[in-house]
Structure 1
Amino acid sequence: MSTRRVLAIDAGQSGIKVRAAAASGGDLLFPGIRTGEPLLPQLASVVAETIARTGAPPDVVVAGISGLTDANADADAMLALTAAHGVRRVVLAHDSTTSFLGALGDRRGAVVAAGTGVVTLAVGAETTARVDGWGWIMGDAGSGYWIGREALDAVMRAYDGRGPTTELTAAVSDRWPDLSQAYMSLQADPDRVRIVASFAAVVARAAVAGDAVAQDISVRAAHELAQSVRAAIAQVRTDEETFPVCAIGGVFGSAPLLEAFTADLHTGDASVRLVDPVGVGIDGVMALADLDTAHPLAAVTHRAG
């Protein structure tokens, strides 16, 4: 680990975690990214507040950011915003990169991170491949949102008589007693993505309890996730060595889904092996400070200073 004074930011929409290597007292927590506002000033504010709270000004700021786009990945601008605090170097990366480093370190492999959304990143000897992470409208297959959307679809099919009855109906009816008006309430709610994704936990419980509809949704979600892993690995693999895979995120808290994912992933390819992560996202952000510039992941980071 670097002896430099590193400040690491693991920035997500649900929360921001900060680790200051030169400070004591553990990681700091901040509210999540506000997607309707400019990103970099929010991160610069987190840097300033962290310094105020810890009394430990950094000389390197590294950040793993959920949904980071090329338009926001301006490391030079971030350096300009924080230089007055003594920051001399900035590294920015998509959170798929830092999730990978946290889960597998700097070796080859693949990491699928599935929460409300989902993204898969594979790293080979020379290249990287990102699969999905295209958001709730265009992608995120197998994610919490995808599972919740399938649950709502199944409930309305049962309501109409177009599909089998399911225990999921009770949970949806608890939120919207008049199911015929549920779609109007949901479409008008600015928090609809989180609300839909919240039903993934309902599906997990119902699948454990033996509900056939919930079990089917879990198996199909697992297949989507396994497909993404296979697609990512196929783009970077140059030989048949064992390829470790980490599955992280709340979606994999569902035992039926994890079991189905593991079986699907291992079917027909003994060289792909599910392994436990060695760390978490903030560990991966810290690793950015010391990532070898020759490593394949260095090509997908943004640096200044």
Structure 2
Amino acid sequence: MSARRVLAIDAGQSDIKVRVDDGSRREDLAFRGIHTGGPLLPQLARVVHETLQRTGTEPDIVAAGISGLTDRDADADALLSLVHADGVRATMLAHDSTTSFLGALGDRHGAVVAAGTGVVTLAVGATDTARVDGWGWIMGDAGSGYWIGREALDAVMRAYDGRGPATLLTDDALARWPDLSQAYMALQADHDRVRVVASLARNVARAADAGDAVAREISHRAAQQLAWSARTAVRRVRTDEPVFDVCAIGGVFASRTLHDAFAAALGEGAGLRLVAPQGVGIDGALALAEITTAHPLGTAVHRAGAI
């Protein structure tokens, strides 16, 4: 890393991780996750302002990897205008699939499945890149924390009605909503409902690891979805590599049951090797400050300003 002062942001829906690096020291901070229903860039600008107030850093570059970044919000010039008064001279924005890949595999070929509240898979081959899913909680994110939490709620209400088997997940739901008959109304009215649903993935992980049949079945189905995305992305970029590396990162993979099921499902595709990541999303956001247009992912980065 150069001596340039970088403020790196890994902006997810559950939380926002920030790393300040001035070439001689690093400091990590955390903030509340982005709200996908509101304007993105003012949220990032507030994170930058609060980071500067808390650390006293004057960064040259703000580099951000953002969950669900759309073309509408990928306006590095607009972000620079919001933070230029703080001394920032350049901004770089990328979809979190890019920063997840950079953090996990760096300059290597391979595929990275990043599964937290949402999920996105990115594969990089010798000449091509391929993104799979990352289409949000309404249209996609198969196998994500939200997907798992939604399946858990479905299972709980099926058990409540007598349409499905009993599950330990009911106790977790009752701890949050003592009257299950009113839970759906409370959840629909909750401004943070996506985050709330996704948080139930931790309950599924605990119940699955404890042997709950319903939670294990949900975990296995999620693993199948995630492995399917990985195999699809690899198929779109792979040329003649005899072995293609795959990384699994994000809180969803903290579940031992799901991780093991993912590894088994991935093994069904010939020549795929599950490898440990060299870093995580915030590491990739920091690496974003050094990426050039010659890098296979260089065209996926939106830039403004100059150093």
Matching residue of 2:151 = 150
1:274 is displaced (CA, Å) by: 0.7
Aligned to 1:229: 230
Contact 2:149-2:199 at 8 Å conserved across structures: yes
Change (3 A) 1:158 1:7: closer
Over 3 Å counting, the alpha-carbon distance change for 1:294 and 1:264 in structure 2 is same
User: What's the counterpart of residue 255 of structure 1?
Assistant: 256
Structure 2 equivalent of residue 6 of structure 1: 6
The whole-number CA distance in structure 1 between the counterparts of 2:190 and 2:258 is: 29
Structure 1 residues 17 and 212, CA gap change in structure 2 (3 angstroms)? closer
Partner of 1:18: 18
**Deviations for 1:50-94, whole angstroms, at most 9, x for unmatched residues?**
344444422222111122111111112222333334433221101
Residue-pair matches, total: 304
Match of 1:285 in 2: 285
Please give the per-residue CA displacement for 1:78-123, whole angstroms capped at 9, x wherever unaligned.
2233333443322110111111111111211111111111111111
Which range moved further: 85-94 or 231-240?
85-94
Cα distance per residue 1:133-168 (max 9 Å; x no partner): 111111111111111111221222222232222222
Q: Which moved more, 1:197-206 or 1:229-238?
A: 197-206
Pairs within 5 Å for 1:41-56 = 41-56=42-57
Query: What is the CA distance between 1:241 and its match in structure 2?
Result: 3.1
> Unaligned stretches of 5+ in structure 2?
none
Displacement, 1:251?
1.0
Aligned pair 1:106/2:107, yes or no? yes
Of all paired residues, the percent bearing the same amino acid is 72
Equivalent in the alignment of 2:121: 120
Q: CA RMSD in A?
A: 2.0
SS at match of 1:26: strand
Choose 40-49 or 131-140, whichever is displaced more.
40-49
Q: Report the equivalent of 2:189.
A: 188
Deviations 1:185-244 (A, max 9, x none): 322222222222222222212212222111111111100000011111111112233211
The verdict on how the C-alpha distance between 1:186 and 1:241 changes in structure 2, with shifts beyond 3 A counting, is same
Give distance in 2, aligned partners of 1:81 and 1:99: 25
Q: Tell me what 2:41 maps to.
A: 40
Deviation at 1:25, TM superposition (A): 5.7
1:148-187 alignment runs, 5 A limit: 148-187=149-188
CA–CA separation in structure 2 for the residues paired with 1:188 and 1:143: 22
Map of 2:89 onto structure 1: 88
- Check conservation: 2:68, 2:135, Cα contact below 8 A: no
Query: For the structure 1 residues 171 and 56, does the alpha-carbon distance in structure 2 shift closer, same or farther, using more than 3 Å as the test?
Result: closer
Given that residues 111 and 247 in structure 2 are in contact (C-alpha distance below 8 angstroms), is that contact kept between their aligned partners in structure 1?
Answer: yes
User: What 5-or-longer segments of structure 1 have no aligned partner?
Assistant: none
CA contact (8 A) 1:10 1:63 kept: yes
CA distance in 1, matches of 2:168, 2:52: 50
Give the 3-state SS of the residue equivalent to 1:91 in structure 2: strand
TM-aligned CA distance change 1:148 to 1:30, over 3 Å: closer
